[in-house]
Structure 1
Amino acid sequence: MTVIERPPLWSRLKPWLVGFDIPLLLAVLWLCFWGLLCMYSAGYDHGTRFVDHARNMVLGLTLMFLVAQVPPQRLMAVAIPLYAFGVTLLIATALFGITKKGATRWLNIGITQIQPSELLKIATPLMLAWWFQKREGLLRWPDFIAAFGLLLLPFLLIAKQPDLGTGLLVLAAGLYVIFFAGLPWRLILPVMVLAAAGIVALVASEDHICEPDVKWVLLKEYQKHRVCTLLDPSKDPLGKGFHIIQGEIAIGSGGVTGKGFMQGTQTHLEFIPERTTDFIFAAFGEEFGLMGALALLIGFSALILRGLMIASDAPTLFTRLMAGAVTLSFFTYVFVNMGMVSGILPVVGVPLPFISYGGTAMVTLGLSLGLLLSIARVRKLVKT
């Protein structure tokens, strides 16, 4: 009688775990710790927010682990179908979508409602990275024009919903790919100079352009209110400026060390709007203070720096572009969220990765991290 001995559990799991980037995983776990801690405090009396956040985090980490097993070559193969599927869903949302609070962003697929724009945060840079990989060594200016066309299509569809916050995130992710692909500085610098001049002109003419009878051609009325509120929140302290003012009060009252875990008065007396989603950094700053914010920034900085290191050492143009775009997208999330809560950027509804509540955002986060880990695994396996 032949006895077949089963290999130990570690031997069976080792092929799945080999090549994982430990510094990146440590940064992720550090941020997950703070995310759970903050959500417990901000959301313990807010229904099942903490339990749901923990579930979403497990789902995101599971997706991260599964996507990390997929070689970048296979990820490249799904670039066109994923992009086409995402754009099709955006068109379906425009035609048949569900409208909530004046925005048509959700699509009913029978078993649940989805927000297709979240998919384009991954599909758009993936498609652009595929585009430039196919033209490696043969890039000409028509290729960059075509790339901008591929980027503007989902951006305009998302902005029309309207969802300018998500649209700008998709736009930023695509622009990072185009920049890393070799967009000439002579085209980048004039845009940066014009943007800086526009910001200065906006601030200088705030008294005139924010008058009620002045119409902004390119932005909707609510978007005009957001910008004008940023310039002077005190003009509408109980309306449009309430979010910014309360966020600044909460962060400022935290001081150096914070008021303590679950001791935030602005948070638990419900002065902070959206305290478990977009404005959770205000609740975090109130309870953990400057030291807590620095601990959070250290985690994000470690994640971003490690991602850029993975991008710089990636074996192919596709993997370099994708890793660079995904990494700088994390930077965009963090900068925009902390900036809007602190009163230096308009309120655009961008979550803080790992910290803010949101199932779709956590799924997107897990997919993005899985892409980074997949690229890091290939790099390590090639070296060995």
Structure 2
Amino acid sequence: MQLSEKRPLWQIVKPFLTAFDGPLTLIIFLILSTGIVTLYSAGIDFPGRVEDQLRNILVSFVIMWIAANVPPQTLMRFAVPIYTVGVALLVAVAMFGMIKKGARRWLNVGMVIQPSEIMKIAMPLMLAWYFQKREGMLRWNHFLVAAMLLMLPVFLIARQPDLGTSLLVAAAGFYVIFLAGLSWKVLLGLFIAGGASLPVAWTTMHDYQRARVMMLIDPTEDPLGKGFHIIQSTIAIGSGGIAGKGWLNGTQAHLEFIPERTTDFIFAVFSEEFGLIGNGVLLFLYLLLIARGLIIAANAPTFFARLLAGAITLIFFTYAFVNMGMVSGILPVVGVPLPFMSYGGTALVTLGLGAGILMSIQRHRKLVQT
């Protein structure tokens, strides 16, 4: 009796890896590797951070792989239920959510969850589905309904209060509306109306939110209090110079001058240790990430897939731009992590899910073509 030959390990593993888009996976891996190297230095006084982040990365890749295997048509069928559940959870948070540090953002459903994170993906999914159903017959009232679908969760998140997440969800929805064909005239009108409403918005902001805006203008007004974050992070970035102080040699981080140095302000640690050259390399990696996402969006086979891929890609851009902007002192501090760099499980899983959806769109386009 002839024994069957054993297949090489690569042939066994290969079918499972075909779900990953090669260029996108490589770019994300390089950014994650850069993040782990930086986190090791930034978290040297926090034992277990690197190990926890490696576990988060593993979970993120599992989520990415699962999402990459789900066809875009299936994602479209789940758009409305996911959005509905997300909004219902946000309402539940407003009614009986957990309060931590003065904010009501969490819900205990056997385990503690933050429903606002769901909306970062649910929002573009819902709006992409909405516009797909009306492709070729879009009218101004359709954009108005889309804006209402967007503003409901944004309002619920903003009142928690969680300005950073509400801005990200608003941006995710806006990108879909814009890519669906929103007129430039309407955009100009919205920009003017937004500028005119700033005095009213200022009066509705919480004290800590107004303080963040004021510290952006002049952080030296409260150098040991509310302006401390911005002052120390900009010192770290500037002290890195051209080539940086070298890995593990960042004094601002290791002397504990940089707050939240493993999460929101990890870019300051990276800048101090790797300097302008390192920042250039990191920016190039993010540009490659965005470029690959836009290529996937441009080649997507359906209106739904194009809108969803374009919005997710621009969400990645928003994460990176807002984080680097706030750390370098050109934007207010709003608590947005640096994508695939900052320590944290929830944001990494959300980003991995977004990347998996991009891979799904690219993979199933190839399957349709073949």
Deviation at 1:79, TM superposition (A): 0.6
Match of 1:161 in 2: 160
Partner AA of 2:54 in structure 1: A
Q: Distance in 1 between matches of 2:321 and 2:117?
A: 19
1:150 equivalent in structure 2: 149
Aligned to 1:116: 115
Give runs of aligned pairs for residues 98-247 of structure 1, distance below 5 A. Answer: 98-110=98-110, 112-193=111-192, 216-247=202-233
User: Where in structure 2 are the equivalents of 1:275-290 lying within 5 Å?
Assistant: 275-290=261-276
Pick which of 39-48 and 367-376 moved more: 39-48
Amino acid at match of 2:15: P
Code of the aligned partner of 1:149: M
AA matched with 1:286: E
Cα separation, 2, equivalents of 1:306 and 1:90: 33
Distance 2:240 2:140 in 1: 51
What is the alpha-carbon distance in structure 1 between the residues aligned to residue 210 and residue 101 of structure 2? Answer: 17
Match of 2:337 in 1: 351
Once residues 294 and 198 of structure 1 are traced to their aligned partners in structure 2, the CA distance between those partners, rounded to angstroms, is 37
The answer (yes or no) to whether the contact 1:20–1:376 under 8 Å persists in 2 is no
| Aligned-residue offset at 1:193 | 4.7
- Verify: 1:315 aligned to 2:331, yes or no: no
Which range moves more in the overlay, 49-58 or 369-378?
A: 49-58
Q: Give 3-state SS (helix, strand or coil) of 1:330's partner.
A: helix
- For residues 151 and 170 of structure 1, what CA distance do their matches in structure 2 show? 8
CA distance in 1, matches of 2:62, 2:128: 25
1:19-168 to structure 2, matched below 5 A, reads 20-110=20-110, 112-168=111-167
> Could you tell me which amino acid in structure 1 is paired with residue 91 of structure 2?
I
Give the CA deviation at 1:189.
Answer: 1.9
With over 3 angstroms needed to count, the CA separation of the structure-2 counterparts of 1:19 and 1:215, relative to structure 1, is closer
Q: Map 1:333-344; keep pairs closer than 5 Å.
A: 333-344=319-330
Give the CA deviation at 1:2. 7.7
Q: Match of 2:105, SS?
A: strand
2:96, 2:301 → 1: CA distance? 43
Tell me the distance in 2 between the aligned counterparts of 1:351 and 1:225: 20
Correspondence for 1:262 among 236, 242, 248: 248
CA contact under 8 A between 1:129 and 1:177: conserved in structure 2? yes
Secondary structure of the corresponding residue to residue 275 of structure 1 = coil
Measured against aligned partners, the alpha-carbon deviations of 1:329-376 in whole angstroms (never above 9, x if no partner) come to 000000000000000000000000111111110110110000000001
Task: Give the letter aligned to residue 191 of structure 1.
Answer: L
Partner of residue 283, structure 2? 297
Return the TM-score normalized by structure 2. 0.96
Give secondary structure in 1 for the equivalent of 2:300: coil
- Counterpart CA distance in 2 for 1:339 and 1:238 is 21
Over residues 202-237 of structure 1, what are the superposed CA-to-partner deviations in whole Å (9 max), with x where a residue is unaligned?
8xxxxxx9xxxx993231111111101101111111
Shift of 1:381: 2.2
Q: Deviations over 1:248-269 (max 9, x none)?
A: 0000000011111011110011
Q: Identify unmatched segments of 5+ residues in structure 2.
A: none
Matched to 2:139, the amino acid is R
Specify the alignment match of 1:206 in structure 2: none
d(CA) in 2 for partners of 1:5 and 1:104?
60
Distance 2:245 2:5 in 1: 57
* Structure 1 residues without counterparts, runs of 5 or longer: 203-208
For 2:342 and 2:7, locate their aligned partners in 1 and report how far apart those are by CA, in whole Å: 41
Does the 8 Å CA contact 1:246/1:272 hold for their aligned counterparts?
yes
Cα distance in 1, alignment partners of residues 9 and 219 from structure 2: 58
Determine if contact 2:171/2:315 at 8 Å carries over to the other structure. Answer: yes
Distance 1:256 1:193, change over 3 A: farther
What residue in structure 2 maps to residue 306 of structure 1? 292
Q: What one-letter code is carried by the residue in structure 2 that aligns with 1:143?
A: H
The alpha carbon displacement at 1:194 in A equals 5.4
- Alpha-carbon RMSD across the aligned residues, in angstroms, is 1.9
Matched pairs, number? 370
TM-score by length of 1: 0.92
| SS at 1:217 equivalent | helix
Q: Which amino acid aligns with 1:163?
A: D
Deviations, residues 59-78 of structure 1 (Å, cap 9, x unaligned) = 11111111101111111111
Tell me the distance in 1 between the aligned counterparts of 2:343 and 2:205: 28
Q: How far, CA to CA, are the matches of 1:138 and 1:258 in structure 2?
A: 55
1:40 and 1:295 mapped to 2: Cα distance? Answer: 19
Identity of aligned residues (%): 61
- Mark the CA change 1:215 to 1:334 in structure 2 (over 3 Å): closer, same or farther: closer
Letter matched to residue 168 of structure 2: L
Displacement of 1:310: 0.5
SS at 1:237's partner residue? coil
The answer for the alignment partner of 1:14 in structure 2 is: 14
- For the residue of structure 1 that corresponds to 2:202, the secondary structure is coil
Would you say the 8 A contact 2:19–2:65 is kept in 1? no
